Structure 1
Amino acid sequence: MNSSHRTATHRITTALAVLALGTTTAAAPAAAASYPEHTVSRYTPLSGGNADRTAARDAGCAEGRTGRDGVRVLFFGTQEKGDKLRQPGTNSGSSSARVAASTASDAATAWAEGFNECRTGGATADLAMGVNNKSDGGLDGAAAGRAWASVVNATDDTGAVTITAAIDAEPAWSNPSWARGWVDAFTQASDRTLYAANSADGCPTHGSTSTSCNNGWKLSDLHYVATGAASTIQAIPQIYRTDGIQARQWSAISSWGATKGSGPVRFAGAMSQEAACKQRGGCSTTDNSPKDAWNQLYTELNNHSETKVSSLPNATDMRWP
């Protein structure tokens, strides 16, 4: 079974009963989807030591104890040449540790072991192994995408945990060709679900005639890396802003696809960063709660006929370890 189907929460509506006089009424409209409760996703800096596995196992155990199904993302940072990973939140000039990319596989396996050991209520998880699209690591997009597919493909599903992948593609971090090349290469080399936990920097909101976003990106590029490149991609976009503008940007991206023949965005949920903001500070307008992020996206999508969704099965909140 496709992993996205395992984690989705579906609502089923029932037909109205036949009235005593033998007449029937029209079917009631489908019930609105309900907030699914959030999972915890993590920025995961790796040092290459045993502490990485211990921390990952503890994180998986904590999520298992919640008894919640759903997607969890571990963001490992930036890919660099030589099959290395640089820690999240750093640039090429950082002195932070560089570790073998295979270390991410070890951490994901440890997370899965912890989840399986501690899970309650028959909970299942899609564990998405993620990197970003920072293009300062000495790799072109296609090479980086193929390399990450190799790491993810080498990481086995374990018990109730399905190993998937994630990309945090943000217009500020690369040109659109780099990101498109990454997604094309990854999806050609792996049939694992790829969760697009992307931002939409500078994109217009629904109803605008503009199609331009920051750094030379267009709505077509955002749609491509979040859905259009392959059927295995599902979007869990960043809905951090408390004013709801990011939800309106993503409805514009989905509307572009629906009206241009590429189809609406395949949304799997919404991503927030409330926990990370509480840990690090500096989030005066970007600390949406998981529920607010989910509600903003679900409501906005269902405000427009071409972007309506019947479900939005995941809400996940970023934190630092």
Structure 2
Amino acid sequence: MPAPATRLICTLTATATALALTPPPAAAAPAYPGHTTSRYITADGTPADTLRAHDAGCADATAGHHGLRILFLGTQEHPDRLRHPGTTADTTTPRIPTTAAADIAAAYTTGFATCNTTGATAHLALGVNNKNDGGTDPATAGADWARITDTAARRAITPAVTVTAALDAEPSWSSPAWARAWIDAYTATTDRRIYAANSAGGCPTPEQDSTTCNNGWTVADIHYLATGAAPTVHALPQIYRTDGIQARQWAAISDWGAHHRNQPLRAAGALSQHTACTQRGGCHRTDNTPRQAWTQLRDALDARDTTRVHALPYATDMRWP
């Protein structure tokens, strides 16, 4: 029988060996952060535009929710105009000068500062889409939006609001070359962050052996627009569908990036449209709540080691003004 001292040494050695062989505990999955409100802006070139933006900023500050929110201003048109979200080139809705976006952002920031009794902070992203029916050159449009965003950021009157940009890039709205030229011009003109509030229409899910998406786009194009173009590009994908397929598509895109670019998605959170659906109707299985959208994306990304996230800070929900 070994001496007591020998038994102690053996016990300590066995314990140390067991600890060395035990894998470290997995990091806890991110917890739902709560959601902010993002807005479609339907400006008409009157003083009401800035009044509505001021009121929106005040409402958001009063709600006290920290984080990202997007003001989607629609489509860039030539020369230097913005067209309402959700419209086409032949619509007769008012157009506003592109520079008016900075005025709207300034009014929002002033409203936020005026009503901010809760200590809330905001990342305010000024958003446009990749519709190419406005006669704009994509490189010119991307660079212009970078300059508008920089101007709006300089005009912010409170450190509680950080102004940045967003792009709603969808395969059905342009060629991939057009969208790539836009994001390249934006990132070459400013180092200000841009949130990719994009769709992945027609892209595969992890169960599918494909790299093609709608309208001639590929998974490589989707990944480039949402992460690959520059370190300042952060993905905030549209996770509208209640069946979770959009979250799985983005997980497949992230996995593709991990394997082919050594770069999974730089995921910032999820975009939903629950409030907009409630306001307008017509949403068939595309009305995820913000929590549902965010949770679907987190779970899809966490399903494999290559795409697992340790932070997913934002959930934001679209509404009409």
**TM-score, normalized by length of structure 1?**
0.91
Say whether 1:286 aligns with 2:283.
no
What residue number does 2:7 align with?
Answer: none
Q: Deviations over 1:98-145 (max 9, x none)?
A: 110011110011111111111243211110000000000001211110
What residue number does 1:213 align with?
Answer: 213
Larger Rg: 2
What residue number does 2:231 align with?
Answer: 231
* Unaligned 5+ runs, structure 2: 1-15
Give me the whole-angstrom Cα distance separating, in 2, the residues matched to 1:187 and 1:31.
Answer: 33
Q: Aligned ranges for residues 38-187 of structure 1 at < 5 Å?
A: 38-155=35-152, 156=154, 157-159=156-158, 160-187=160-187
| SS in structure 1 at match of 2:309 | coil
Give me the whole-angstrom Cα distance separating, in 1, the residues matched to 2:38 and 2:294.
Answer: 15
| SS in structure 2 at match of 1:310 | coil
- Deviation for aligned residue 1:28: 4.4
Question: Partner amino acid for 2:74?
Answer: G
- Deviation for aligned residue 1:69: 1.1
Give me the whole-angstrom Cα distance separating, in 1, the residues matched to 2:29 and 2:145.
Answer: 37
Residues 228 and 262, structure 1, Cα contact 8 Å, conserved in 2: no
Residues 165 and 193, structure 1, Cα contact 8 Å, conserved in 2: yes
Residues 69 and 316, structure 2, Cα contact 8 Å, conserved in 1: yes
* Unaligned 5+ runs, structure 1: 1-22
Q: Deviations over 1:214-235 (max 9, x none)?
A: 0000000000010000000101
Question: Partner amino acid for 2:105?
Answer: A
* Inter-CA distance 28–254: structure 2 relative to 1 (3 Å threshold): closer
Give me the whole-angstrom Cα distance separating, in 2, the residues matched to 1:73 and 1:273.
Answer: 12
| SS in structure 2 at match of 1:127 | strand
Question: Partner amino acid for 1:310?
Answer: H
- Deviation for aligned residue 1:244: 0.2
Give me the whole-angstrom Cα distance separating, in 1, the residues matched to 2:257 and 2:25.
Answer: 30
Higher helix share: 2
- Deviation for aligned residue 1:33: 1.3
- Deviation for aligned residue 1:30: 2.4
Residues 79 and 131, structure 1, Cα contact 8 Å, conserved in 2: yes
What residue number does 1:248 align with?
Answer: 248
- Deviation for aligned residue 1:31: 2.2
Range that drifts further, 27-36 or 47-56: 27-36
Say whether 1:272 aligns with 2:269.
no
- Deviation for aligned residue 1:209: 1.5
Range that drifts further, 125-134 or 150-159: 150-159
Residues 75 and 131, structure 2, Cα contact 8 Å, conserved in 1: yes
- Deviation for aligned residue 1:158: 3.0
Question: Partner amino acid for 2:230?
Answer: A
Give me the whole-angstrom Cα distance separating, in 1, the residues matched to 2:207 and 2:306.
Answer: 12
Give me the whole-angstrom Cα distance separating, in 1, the residues matched to 2:301 and 2:25.
Answer: 21
Q: Deviations over 1:27-60 (max 9, x none)?
A: 6432221100100000001111110001001111
Give me the whole-angstrom Cα distance separating, in 2, the residues matched to 1:185 and 1:59.
Answer: 30
| SS in structure 1 at match of 2:306 | helix
Residues 61 and 118, structure 2, Cα contact 8 Å, conserved in 1: no
What residue number does 1:299 align with?
Answer: 299
When the two structures are aligned, how many residues end up with a matched partner?
300
Q: Deviations over 1:241-288 (max 9, x none)?
A: 000000000001111100002400100000000000001100021000
What residue number does 1:15 align with?
Answer: none
